């Protein structure tokens, strides 16, 4: 009885941006606006403080991204103990290499002002899960975003290879959306080591979640930063629609998470790091005799791309 929210891509043709890198022919890029994340500083930290920004225009980066996702659903009696152990989620893993290039963003009156234009091309995609799906035809999938120097993203663009099959399009688009749902956005005020700030954003995917990420600045150098993360998630919709037309309300949400990222201010994406999120949402009503428990796992890994010999 898994319920999915459809991903609706707003087909807005990207203007002022044309990409013709070598590789497989791709379809015309389409874009969807991205909700601005809200940044709140909880502690400005200590020592030497400064406003942190990306300085990556005219840079290029190669890295490997691995995404593992899992989902499980249990229907239990309303009197089930609160420490009920959910079923083990069925997991799938998507991985690919990324080549990222950053240029100065052009002025576009139809889009939110931005200073940086990040453009990514993925290669060597693989997928493993309960279903045997082939994503090799997605080699050359392109995507990118417009952002300001602090990391605030205003729009996401995607262009699938013309030869990509439906599985490759769906799986790789989902992985890209998950990647971009974990933005690194710095505060607009001076901070130092030990600083703590929160980022309220919205994720998209099989279901839309409201996400609060708490960043801690563990180490700060002239060229980069070490960040640790704590993440909480909750459904954007307050009820779960049932097949009989009824609804079950969100009664409880629990998230366990950990994460650490290495940031180079001259690169658009983390140079290394891991993020691990496990969220369980309990649906029901005070009168209902059942509870629906939905458990999701998300793990992300960033690492330098393997060097060709």
pLDDT in tens, 45-76: 999 999 999 999 999 999 999 999 999 999 99
Asked, for residue 130, whether it belongs to a domain, the answer is yes
Asked, for residue 94, whether it belongs to a domain, the answer is yes
Lowest mean pLDDT segment, chosen from 80-89, 106-115, 201-210, 243-252: 201-210
159: its two tokens = 């262009």
Asked, for residue 84, whether it belongs to a domain, the answer is yes
- pLDDT at position 191 is 98
| 238 pLDDT higher than 80 | no
Asked, for residue 239, whether it belongs to a domain, the answer is yes
196: its two tokens = 């703590």
What is the domain-level CATH number for residue 157?
2.30.230
The arithmetic mean of pLDDT across residues 143-153, rounded, is 94
Residues in the chain: 309
The more confidently predicted of residues 12 and 263 is 263
| 182 pLDDT higher than 60 | yes
Asked, for residue 6, whether it belongs to a domain, the answer is no
Asked, for residue 29, whether it belongs to a domain, the answer is yes
257: its two tokens = 């998470």
The arithmetic mean of pLDDT across residues 246-272, rounded, is 94
Per the structure, the count of domains in the chain is 1
Handedness of CA 215, 218, 221, 223 (dihedral sign): negative
DSSP for 176-233, written as a single string: HHHHHTS-----SS-EEET-EEEEEEEE-SSS-EEEEEEEEEEEE-SSEEEEEEEEEE
Domain coverage including residue 35: 12-304
């Amino acid at each position: 009885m898994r319920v999915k929210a459809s991903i609706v891509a707003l087909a807005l043709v990207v203007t002022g941006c044309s990409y013709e890198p070598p590789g497989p022919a791709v379809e015309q890029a389409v874009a969807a606006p991205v909700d601005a994340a809200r940044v709140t500083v909880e502690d400005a930290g200590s020592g030497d403080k400064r406003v942190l920004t990306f300085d990556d225009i005219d840079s290029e980066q190669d890295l490997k991204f691995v995404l593992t996702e899992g989902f499980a659903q249990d229907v239990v009696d309303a009197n089930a103990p609160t420490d009920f152990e959910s079923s083990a989620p069925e997991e799938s893993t998507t991985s690919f290499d990324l080549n990222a290039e950053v240029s100065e963003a052009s002025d576009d009156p139809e889009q939110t002002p931005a200073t940086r234009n990040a453009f990514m091309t993925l290669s060597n995609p693989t997928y493993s899960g309960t279903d045997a799906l082939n994503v090799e035809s997605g080699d050359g999938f392109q995507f990118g975003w417009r952002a300001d120097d602090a990391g605030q993203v205003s729009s996401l663009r995607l262009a699938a290879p013309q030869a990509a099959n439906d599985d490759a399009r769906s799986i790789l688009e989902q992985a890209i959306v998950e990647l971009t749902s974990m933005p690194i956005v710095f505060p607009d005020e001076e901070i130092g080591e030990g600083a703590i700030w929160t980022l309220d954003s919205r994720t998209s995917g099989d279901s839309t979640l409201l996400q609060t990420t708490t960043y801690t600045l563990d180490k700060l150098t002239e060229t980069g930063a070490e960040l640790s993360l704590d993440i909480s998630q909750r459904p954007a919709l307050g009820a779960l629609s049932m097949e009989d037309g009824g609804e079950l309300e969100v009664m409880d949400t629990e998230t366990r998470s950990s994460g650490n990222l290495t940031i180079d201010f001259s690169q658009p994406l983390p140079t290394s790091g891991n993020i691990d999120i496990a969220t369980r949402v309990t649906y029901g009503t005070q009168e209902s005799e059942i509870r629906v428990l939905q458990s999701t796992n998300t793990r992300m890994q960033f690492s330098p791309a393997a060097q060709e010999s």
